[in-house]
Chains A and B, each alone.
Chain A
């Protein structure tokens, strides 16, 4: 059961993350996610496999990428170089010859030890601030064995550990990590099963069941709700969510207002962004805080 998998796919390591758990933390973004939320701000995280992104505005048209591609996957068009995603094997050779940084590979294989070494670079900052490592994604539990090995090794190094999860994974996957996990930042996107399925590709039954179980464990459980205008921000859904959180016996709820920083990434991946919405206004966020006052939960905005 407790298999040690020593390598996984990581697409970003972000130091000085201060809005994802206690203290100064390093966020490790793992690739692969079972959901396909339409508002996802990290579309490069969804597929488990490495992917090449194209930053068209950086391209100087040197043509080196086209020359080196063994699959003839890159074509020059009026809109710049475009990758034929069916042909691309994400070998990364084009990114190596792209001096402009217009082509970049998202997703790199790391061993647990190599990753830990990178994370421990900031050890002194964790020590002074009570911070540590936060696994994010993607869905960290999607790379179940790697995440398990990583958390176990981190705990051996006395690191404070946290995971950001969508919860749509078998409970056992989470459960076996619990001994090595200080906090779980748990997303609840919608309480209505059908709407959940419509916008994320999966229903919420497992998600809600898992969180009920986790609420009974010792892990520091933090519920976060992305506030997506027109999708889950109705007063009714938010009030129901707050009630649900209260029933879990928790005292806090974090609201993460939708932002559009991830939109440009879709075209970089050769994909279309389906939503056409604006971030909630400050007034609306304050209004939501008002509405949720009755819940007696401490409501926080941001991570």
Chain B
């Protein structure tokens, strides 16, 4: 299907409009907070949301069919003082000066922000939470070269959800309101705790009306524009928009157009309530399909028009943006991705494949739009239709790194092992980058922190002393020079990991507690299963399932390092611990030959070699087992993940020399991918190796990057072979894989000439971004990934 002229025009607008800061939301929220002082926090949050929706500027862009704006004009980003006051204030003068993730701001808006930000002094999570940490944890938190990077939910909202969109599509906010009113009427106020529940229900009533009124404002605007419109075709479109927005999300959707508009309002409003990332629509092709099917059957809509509406929705998702924090967030999330993950295909609760017409249209929409949002993923299983995979690899071939592939064959049992039912597990969605979660009923905190496994190994080899600062920051686990067997090395590593995980949990549970008090999210709580039943906001643990998911980074570097110690030092005795530790202390200065010995003469993870592969499995197990011991304040357990977002580059920056021959400060391997350049036996060997990691245990997700040179995907026959590769991936029970199909040469050219390569999209980590928006180190890291070429 062809891309329509309308879509091309709308895309040009999105791509060419520079990002800018909008002070409107911040102003309205601040006004509201001032008005509601003394009221229960959840009511204050609901009223602030309501005030923003009632008073913010709205517009309908030229040619738009799906409407709704995040801030006062295209590509403007709202400010969230509730979470960001401190860092926004600090960076107010530098937003326009950044080389990456630059935001324009008018003097007038800057003045507004300067006036209101002082109100938030001492009222944000960022200022309150760290003060609550116990002394020792506080010291760990403040380390200059840290093991733990836990600041995402300290400096921003949480997000990271797959809400239940279906419940609003089918019942509308009126339906939700009647349910809540009934709950309120039946609530026995004399029972302890129910007063609080009452506030929660009242807040849901406020946000429901706010959402309906917001849509009503668009309806009126569309009517007005229609009245003024000379072009008869556009006039009719505007009248249709007016009709649609009068109905949804207040009432149940009855057509595909209404369903898409209702969906987009939800997606937009989630991003107006908080600045959380990774607000993921989940199984979009499933809950949207009934509306499409009905329209097609009743001939209310033809397939071309349906595709255009879908394309419009895809584009609108790229207009939802967040002001990015720098530092440290941008370092870890190169290219700033909202990672709104839509996942298509896969099995239903009976185990049958449920790929449908809309699944294919989603792939088509992505091929039409070619922008980072949504983060499109597919679910694969042993019975995935060949044609679906063919369309998938055709999209992969285009080179934007989408879609990512997730494997039902391992994710379903993994989630069941986490204690959820078969039906819930089979209905999983993906949060953000790669985090599998039960759809519509979980609050996963899935990107809670980055945990640097490589730094733990460094500390284990130097008796807790950081090689960058020379200070003791870890446990005293003994002088590694005196270790005389491999088990001692491993034990020291395990102890460092356990020590830092404990402190990480203290930090994250503290943040969690403060979110609970300060940042209830009644709007999204209205459609996450469990909240209304329990009468509890998401932040309090209202969702049916609750987790906290921190990621271990540096698996391959640690595995290769331990393998080198085991083989070269203790088995073959080519090297002593004394020589090794001294060389590491000196960052291999003057000892290049020794470094090369470690790099080239010990087997490496990623080549199908049993020894390093099993070492990688063991490192994963050490991390996962330790994480699984802990619980969060929402009553949920900790779930381990093994993926990096884009943190492998900055996290490498704080790690000293390692026994795999890696010098100080260089990037770590990404996710569970092998160390760049160490996987020399091609993609099948990588898949065999990675299959040896215990994916089922890393329930918060694993990430594998494969990079192919375009010559490996020339024609239909090559595509068929890639499909076979993907089917083996499913059969060997890996969890996730994503592909970059681009040559290192082309990437280097884009680095030299960003101006003419603005459209080059690449896979960074669990998301795609425009290559030229990444910082140089991240660009180099992607160029450096092993490229399979034939």
Contact = CB atoms under 8 A, between A and B. Distances in A.
A210 interface: no
Interface string B698-728: 0000000000000010100110110011011
Interface stretch (A10-18, A80-88, A287-295): A10-18
Contact of B721 (A23, A60, A99): A23
Interface-centre pick from A15, A23, A60 (highest chain B CB count, 10 A): A15
Interface string B31-64: 0000000000000000000000000000000000
B688 A121 contact: yes
Interface string A41-64: 000000000000000000010101
Interface stretch (B65-73, B109-117, B678-686, B766-774): B678-686
B728 A128 contact: yes
A302 interface: yes
A121 B727 CA distance: 16
A101 B728 contact: no
A302 B600 contact: no
B608 interface: yes
Given A15-B684, A16-B788, A125 B728 contact: yes
Nearest to B685: A15
A23 B684 contact: no
B593 interface: yes
Nearest to A129: B724
B601 A99 contact: yes
A127 B597 CA distance: 38
Contacts of B601: 99
Contact of A23 (B594, B596, B681, B724): B724
Contact of A101 (B596, B681, B714, B727): B596
B233 interface: no
B600 A101 contact: yes
Given A101-B600, A121-B608, A125-B684, A18 B732 contact: no
A62 B593 contact: yes
B721 A18 contact: yes
A38 B601 CA distance: 35
B592 interface: yes
Interface residues of A, number: 23
A129 B596 contact: no
Interface in B260-285: none
Interface string B413-456: 00000000000000000000000000000000000000000000
Given A23-B721, A124-B731, A15 B681 contact: yes
A24 B790 contact: no
A124 B600 contact: no
Q: Is the interface of B mostly helix, strand, loop or mixed?
A: helix
Contact of B683 (A16, A23, A100, A124): A16
A129 B720 CA distance: 8
A19 B728 contact: no
Nearest to A102: B596
Interface string B729-750: 0011000000000000000000
A64 B682 CA distance: 31
A16 B684 contact: yes
B600 A100 contact: yes
Contacts of A302: 714
A18 B725 CA distance: 11
Contacts of B725: 16, 24, 125, 128-129
B737 to A, nearest CB: 14
B605 to A, nearest CB: 15
A122 interface: yes
Nearest to B714: A302
A54 to B, nearest CB: 16
Contacts of A17: 790
Nearest to A302: B714
A99 B714 contact: no
Contacts of B727: 128
Nearest to A62: B593
Contacts of B593: 60, 62, 64, 99-100
B600 to A, nearest CB: 5
A23 B731 CA distance: 17
Interface in A76-128: 99-101, 121-122, 124-125, 128
Given A121-B688, A125-B724, A99 B597 contact: yes
B718 A60 contact: no
Given A15-B681, A23-B721, A99 B596 contact: yes
Contacts of B688: 121-122
Contacts of A62: 593
B432 to A, nearest CB: 30
Interface string B553-572: 00000000000000000000
A4 to B, nearest CB: 28
Contact of B712 (A18, A60, A121, A129): A18
Contacts of B608: 121
A268 to B, nearest CB: 17
B373 to A, nearest CB: 32
Contact of B724 (A64, A121, A128): A128
Nearest to A64: B593
Contacts of A131: 721, 724
A37 to B, nearest CB: 22
B707 to A, nearest CB: 13
A13 B682 CA distance: 11
A128 B731 contact: yes
A106 to B, nearest CB: 15
Given A17-B790, A18-B790, A62-B593, A24 B684 contact: yes
B684 A60 contact: no
A131 B728 CA distance: 13
Interface in A169-206: none
Contacts of A19: 790
Contact of B682 (A16, A60, A99, A100): A16
Nearest to A13: B681
Contacts of A124: 728, 731-732
A152 to B, nearest CB: 25
Nearest to B712: A18
Interface-centre pick from B600, B681, B682, B684 (highest chain A CB count, 10 A): B684
A134 to B, nearest CB: 13
Interface-centre pick from A15, A16, A19 (highest chain B CB count, 10 A): A16
A17 B721 CA distance: 10
Interface in A122-164: 122, 124-125, 128-131
Nearest to B600: A101
A14 B573 CA distance: 31
Nearest to B595: A99
A277 B600 CA distance: 35
Nearest to A121: B608
A68 B75 CA distance: 66
B687 to A, nearest CB: 8
Contacts of A121: 608, 685, 688
Contacts of B600: 99-101
A42 B752 CA distance: 34
B592 A24 contact: no
Contacts of B728: 124-125, 128
A19 B728 CA distance: 19
Interface-centre pick from A18, A60, A122, A124 (highest chain B CB count, 10 A): A18
Nearest to A126: B724
A279 to B, nearest CB: 13
The 10 lowest CB-CB distance pairs between A and B, nearest first, are A129-B724, A99-B596, A16-B682, A99-B597, A128-B724, A15-B682, A18-B721, A16-B684, A15-B684, A62-B593
28 contacts: A14-B682, A15-B685, A16-B684, A16-B788, A17-B790, A18-B721, A19-B790, A24-B684, A24-B721, A60-B592, A64-B593, A99-B594, A99-B600, A100-B600, A101-B596, A101-B600, A122-B684, A122-B688, A124-B732, A125-B684, A128-B724, A128-B725, A128-B728, A128-B731, A129-B724, A130-B724, A131-B721, A302-B714
Given A19-B790, A101-B600, A129-B720, 10 more contacts: A15-B684, A15-B685, A17-B790, A24-B725, A64-B593, A99-B597, A99-B600, A122-B688, A128-B728, A130-B724
